[in-house]
Structures are given as structure tokens and as C-alpha cells.
Structure 1
Amino acid sequence: MLGFKAGLRDFLGVDGTFLKGLYPRQVLTAVGLDSNNGIYPVAYTVVEAETTSSWTWFMQLLGEELELGANSNFTFISDRQKGIIPALAKVFPKVEHRFCLRHIQENLKKQCKGKELSDLVWECHRATTLNHFKHVMDELKKMNDEAHAWLCKIPAETWSKSHFSGRAHTDYLLNNLCEVFNAKIEEGRDKPIITCLEYIREYLMKRLCVVQKEIDKCQGELITTATIILEEIKIQIAKYVAKYNGAGKYQVASTWQDQYVVNLNERSCTCRFWEITGFPCMHAVSAIWNKIENGEDALDVEDWVYPCYKLSTWRAMYLNKINPINGRSMWPKSDCPFTLTPPKHHTQVVMSTRLDMLGGQKKKRRRGVDEPNNQTTKLSRKFLAVTSSKCHNNGHNSRTCKGQGGISEVGSKGKT
């Protein structure tokens, strides 16, 4: 918790995944972003099921540890689970709750399919201004009125950048944070509950050490990812011209006739990229360079980046370690007055024809609508060029060869 607070980024992904052993339970996780946009697991627990009550309990404990009040301006992202939506609304009614866009698209594909439709949905997500968002939504309506009506039922502030606040300093809209963490602990999810929890703790302990080694290799003011992003922004500056108004504001225009207003005093731009991500946009960088070229006192471009991308912030996040613990024989005896009974044994429903050797438990996740069902390792021969080994002509194989010229044809004439 202390490391996450040091990261200066109020953003958490929350999700649940099932245990694969003989005692079916759910693992609820809360995963954040570190300064280098890597996963930073914050909290996890085991509950009976993903219900509103279990999510409410988990959120209450998470809020106490992070010192979040009922009116906290925090940002969460989830897969639109039925239990977590009312739980967040109850515990943190003022938070910004984003929905994973990939899951929104998968649900949309069940009714409306097509690459052009999918590209427009992504364009709606990437729009950082209201005008751009409305323009793309109008194009979507012209293409497919049914998809437009379905998408309008989901609040735009949950899935489009144009409606995001700048509190989280990230435009992340995929809940890959939790999915990556769930994949890392997959080997521990088919073990008993205590063993599973120990597996997760040991993984986190090792992960902190691995990232610490990468931090020790870094030099400079910004972290690696921030440096790459900022260099890409600088490349696009040549096509922009900034004009100063004398009061800290700049009018920045390009040859493409797009024009925005940059306010360096407030560290904002009307394109909203700076506000959403914490990085100065290409318009802001153009204004900063214009200020430096005119001999005015101005910070370097790297100093205008939000502090969560500083190397010092990344280093502060990983100063807090997870301590090793003794084995079970060294654990103190609990003075709990109640007798704790093991959970009820339950054999899970097998969803695949390929059973596990230890009890027929499902090992693979359910595939999405647009994912191929690779149940066999045999590759498809569709659209491959086939050559006959008899006549050496294309378009058929040796089994269907009827002597279309070449060696096969000569051989057949000789036999007759």
C-alpha cells in the first residue's frame, strides 16, 4: 500500500478470477500502474463468489488501507461485473469508474460485427475532445444505427477519453492489469487456499526484486517509457507554429488547419491530451520551445511531465518490500474461540473434453467471440498454394492428380 501511494497515480484495476482446485472460490484483485506503466498489485483476497456483498467488503477494506473517503476522487477500471458496479456506487459514489473497452467490443460483436464498425468504436475511445467524439459517433450511427443505439446506453464517461477527468494521469482503458496478474498466478490457482495465497505472496516478493534491478540500471530524470513517449511527441513538433498572446497562452496551429490553445500557467491544452495523460502534448511542447527561443525563462520539456513519470517516483514505489515468513511449523497457534471447518468440497463443472489428470478441472479460459478456437495444433491448409508431386503443377495434390501435363502425363501415355 505504501508503495502504491508513493506512485502518485490514483488508478486501480479490479477483477476477479476463479480458483481451479477442489474448493471453488474467487480471488478478488486490485492492481495499479507503476511509473513505467507496469502492473503494481495492491491487494488480493479469496471470497466465496463475485457478489455485491463480497465486492463491497473488499472495497471497504481497500478504502481503509488507501485512506479513501466516501467522496474520494479516485479512478477504477473493471470488466463491468454485475457485483462491482453497485459496490463501487455504494462505497465510493464519487469515483470515476471506467469500463474495459475490449469487453464492451466483445459484447457488441454478439449483435453487430465488422472491422469498420470496430475501428469506429476505437476512434470514439481515442477522441479526446467532445467535438471529435460527437463527429465519430455520428459516423457510427450512419453505418449501423443498431450499434449506435446499443453503445449510447453505456455512459460515455466510462469508455471515452473525451469524457475522462485528469485525476488518474493515464488514458488506460483496458483491464489488462488484472488479466496479466491473473495469468502470473495461474499455477497457484489450482492449489488449496492457503497454498494459493502463499504462491501469490512469493510471486509478489520476487517481482519487487526483479523490477528493482531494472530501476538500478536506469539513469536520467524520467523513466524509460516516458522518455520514449516524449521523444515521439518531439518528432511531430516541426509541423506546428505557436503564437504567444502575452499572458501565458499560446495559439498553436499546424498545416492541417487544426488549432488549439495552450495555457502554460495552468499546464493545459484544449486537445486535453496533457490533462488526461500527464504528458505535454505536441501543442504544449511547441509552445514551450517557442518560449525558450524567445529568451524567456522556461523549464525544459522533461520538467513539464507529471511527477508520476519521474525516475525518483518509480524508485520510491519499490523501496517497500514484502518480508519473508517462516514455515507452517513456526506459525503461532491461533486463539480463535471458534472451530474453523474446511470449505465444502465441490467438483466443478467440466467445460472441456480434455480433462485434467487430477480431477477433470478446467484449465483454459473461455475464448472471446473474435478469438480462434485452436483446439488442435494442426494448421489449416486453406489459401495455401498446393503443388502435385507427380506432375509438379500447382492447384492440386498428388492424390487428385489426373495427369495434367508434365511427368504424370508422359507416364500415362507410355503405359497405354
Structure 2
Amino acid sequence: MCARHIYGNLKKIFPHQGDMKKLFWQVAESYTTKEYEANLELVKSYDMRVYEAMMEKNPKNCSLAFFTPTSSCVDVHNNISESFNNAIDPARYMPMVEMLETIRRRTMVRIDMRKTKADKDLSRVPPRIKEMIALEQKRLKFCKVIPGSDGRNEVRESGTSYSVNITMKTCACRRWEMSGVPCRHALHIIAEKKLNHEDYISSWLLNGRQQQIYRDSIRPVNGMCFWDNSGSVILPPPNLVEELENRKGRKPKPKRKKGKNESPKKKKASRERRIMHCRRCSLTGHNAAKCPNMEVEKSMPPKKKKKTKPSADGGGPSQPTQDTFSGTLENLGSSMTFVGLEA
């Protein structure tokens, strides 16, 4: 289950609970069962109604304490699904063949983009993993190592001991196994032994593995002019025709409505506490329409000249203005003729 959607539903039921967000994400991001139970007790002491609403959704389904470390991922939400839906959004309103071909071409472009990005990065560790390591290293000063044998060591932090096995790449806090990146307890041992922490990062997160993943891409496909004609007539789907008819003259809907708990859209600046200046006499408290100094000549600011960038070929746009992957639905609805893939 997606923790972000569960929290969004809780926010609708309890809209004015300020500390509920912090407590909920503490439960979702608990790495051990003991940590999970302790955070649930904090929710229970905060508000029993919030606790009962959370237990109805069974928070074990979205808590890291009950996840397996196989995937080396600490995400508790399904943003990957929403990212996929956003990527294929232009193709949803097309017939089956055009939809599949559009998704295929967009996927080829995305793979090539990721491959280029991975090839340009000459370091062994991607920047995102470096940020995770740097964040954990800030807490090393609160850790103390008690050496052991066979790669096993004990690390104390804030009065709690954690058993760390450098050989097996495990720690009692489970952050190392879950994320694939050494936790602060393991980093403290690695630093004391003067080892390279990059050797203890999961191979799935290294830049070399990213290059292997995006080394191969989807094979190109010839255009429809090379296909054998089956003799069938291409008709638009009925729901698309109906939707286009209903959309005429209406403002297009946004891709997805954001919830109250998500980052808000940019809002227009309020005029509250703004000091009004008259553009005729430049005094405050009134505008040009109610200016008492009508004898003053009205002054207008000079117009700014628009800077034009010279094109590469000396005239006209340097690039085609029509995107090959996303045609507008208005053009599709006006003609209602479905052209094949590019020849």
C-alpha cells in the first residue's frame, strides 16, 4: 500500500491535527519492529481516534519494519506508478496501435537520456547515493565503536547498542540492508578501519550497474508505410470521440489534482500591505484615476526592448516547433483522421 495515499485519507478525516504528519511518517519509516511499536504508542498517546483510523488500514503494509531487504529500496509510496502514468499520459487518448508505438518511442528516448547521464558521470557512486552517505556521516560523532572479532563490532549511539557485521553487510538498525547504503554505525567502523565505504555499497546502486541497465534499448520499428495492409478500416474509439465532443470550448483539466498534504501550486501574490503609488505624481495613497495633482504631466515608463536571439541558420526557428511524440487532442478531434506512425 502507498503510505502517502493513506496519510492523504487521514488528513481528510482529521484536517486540523498538526503533529499527525510527523507521527505517521515515523511509523511508516520505522526500520525495526521495536521502533514500529514505539512509534505506534506515540500515536496512541497523541490521539486515540487517529490511532484507530491508522490501524484500520493496517500500517504494517506500508512500514519498512515489515519489508524485506531484497530490493534495496526504502520507498514506502508508489510514486513509480504515478511517474509511469504521467509519462504515458499523451498516449492514453490514442487508438491501440498509436498508443503502443508512442509509449515505445517515449521509452526509447528515456532510456537514451538515462544512458547519456550515466556515461557522463565518471564517478563510481551516483550523486544521490553520495548525498545519503553525507547525511549519515553527520551523525558519526554520536557513535562509539566497541571492537569485536570476525567482522562483528558493537556500536553505541544515544545509549543503544547495535551489532554490526561488516562481512555480511548487516546492522541491527536494518538501514544498511534495506537501502543498500552503509548506515552511520557501519560508516563509523569503516572510517576507523580506514576502509573505502564505496566498497560496501550495494552493486545495484553503483554507476557501473546503471550503465549496464541502460546499455541496451528497444529495437527501432519501421513506419506503417512498410507494414502489410490488412484491409481493415481504422476507426477512432467511441469514448475518444465522445470525450472530444464534450471537451470543445472547455479548459483542459490538469493531469492530477494535488492533495492538501502535497506541495501547493504557485499562488498569486496578495495585495495586502502593499503601498499604492500614483504613476502620475508618484505619491502614495491613491492611483492615477483619483490623483489630486492633475496638472502634473502623466509619465509612462519606457518600454523595454525585446531581445531576439539570432537563429543558427540565420532565419526561422532553429528547431522544429512540433513535438513528434505529443500531438494535441484539438487537432486530433478536428480532423478525426488517424495518421500512421512516421514514415
TM over 0.5: yes
Identity %: 22
Residues 69-126 of structure 1 deviation map (CA, whole Å, 9 limit, x = unaligned): xxxxxxxxxxxxxxxxxxxxxxxxxxxxxx1111111111221222311111011112
**Offset of residue 347 of structure 1:** 6.3
Contact 1:129 1:162 in 2 (8 A): yes
TM-score normalised by structure 2 residue count: 0.71
Residue 268 of structure 2: aligned partner = 379
Residue 345 of structure 1: aligned partner = 238
Residue 105 of structure 1: aligned partner = 7
Equivalent residue for 2:185, pick from 283, 297, 303: 283
1:268 partner letter: T
Residue 71 of structure 1: aligned partner = none
Residues 158-192 of structure 1 deviation map (CA, whole Å, 9 limit, x = unaligned): 21112211111110122221222322332332333
Contact 2:70 2:178 in 1 (8 A): yes
**The 10-residue stretch of structure 1 (198-207 or 245-254) with the greater mean CA deviation from structure 2:** 245-254
Residue 229 of structure 1: aligned partner = 132
Gaps of 5+ in 2: 294-343
Residue 305 of structure 1: aligned partner = 201
Residue 66 of structure 1: aligned partner = none
Distance 2:149 2:229 in 1: 72
Contact 1:223 1:314 in 2 (8 A): no
Distance 2:39 2:242 in 1: 44
**Which is strand-richer, 1 or 2?**
1
Equivalent residue for 1:366, pick from 246, 249, 257: 257
Distance 2:262 2:211 in 1: 38
SS at match of 1:259: strand
Contact 1:307 1:313 in 2 (8 A): yes
Report matched runs for 1:14-413 at 5 Å. 99-113=1-15, 114-254=17-157, 256-290=158-192, 292=193, 300-333=196-229, 345-346=238-239, 356-357=247-248, 362=253, 364-370=255-261, 379=268, 381=270, 384-387=272-275
Contact 1:356 1:362 in 2 (8 A): no
Contact 1:222 1:309 in 2 (8 A): yes
1:284 partner letter: A
2:36 partner letter: F
**Offset of residue 370 of structure 1:** 4.2
Residue 36 of structure 1: aligned partner = none
**Offset of residue 308 of structure 1:** 0.2
Q: What value does the CA root-mean-square deviation take over the aligned residues?
A: 3.3
Are the structure 2 counterparts of residues 239 and 192 from structure 1 closer, same or farther at C-alpha, using a change threshold of 3 Å? same
Residues 270-293 of structure 1 deviation map (CA, whole Å, 9 limit, x = unaligned): 111011111111101112233x25
Contact 1:100 1:175 in 2 (8 A): yes
Contact 2:95 2:237 in 1 (8 A): no
Are the structure 2 counterparts of residues 187 and 318 from structure 1 closer, same or farther at C-alpha, using a change threshold of 3 Å? same
SS at match of 1:346: helix
Are the structure 2 counterparts of residues 378 and 130 from structure 1 closer, same or farther at C-alpha, using a change threshold of 3 Å? closer
Are the structure 2 counterparts of residues 149 and 341 from structure 1 closer, same or farther at C-alpha, using a change threshold of 3 Å? farther
**Offset of residue 132 of structure 1:** 1.9
Gaps of 5+ in 1: 1-98, 294-298, 400-406, 409-416
**Offset of residue 361 of structure 1:** 7.0
Question: How many pairs does the alignment contain?
Answer: 283
1:208 partner letter: I
Distance 1:333 1:122 in 2: 56
Distance 2:120 2:250 in 1: 46
SS at match of 1:115: coil
Contact 1:171 1:276 in 2 (8 A): yes
Contact 1:348 1:361 in 2 (8 A): no
Contact 2:30 2:63 in 1 (8 A): yes
Residues 311-369 of structure 1 deviation map (CA, whole Å, 9 limit, x = unaligned): 2211110111112111112123569xxx899686136998xxxx744888755433424
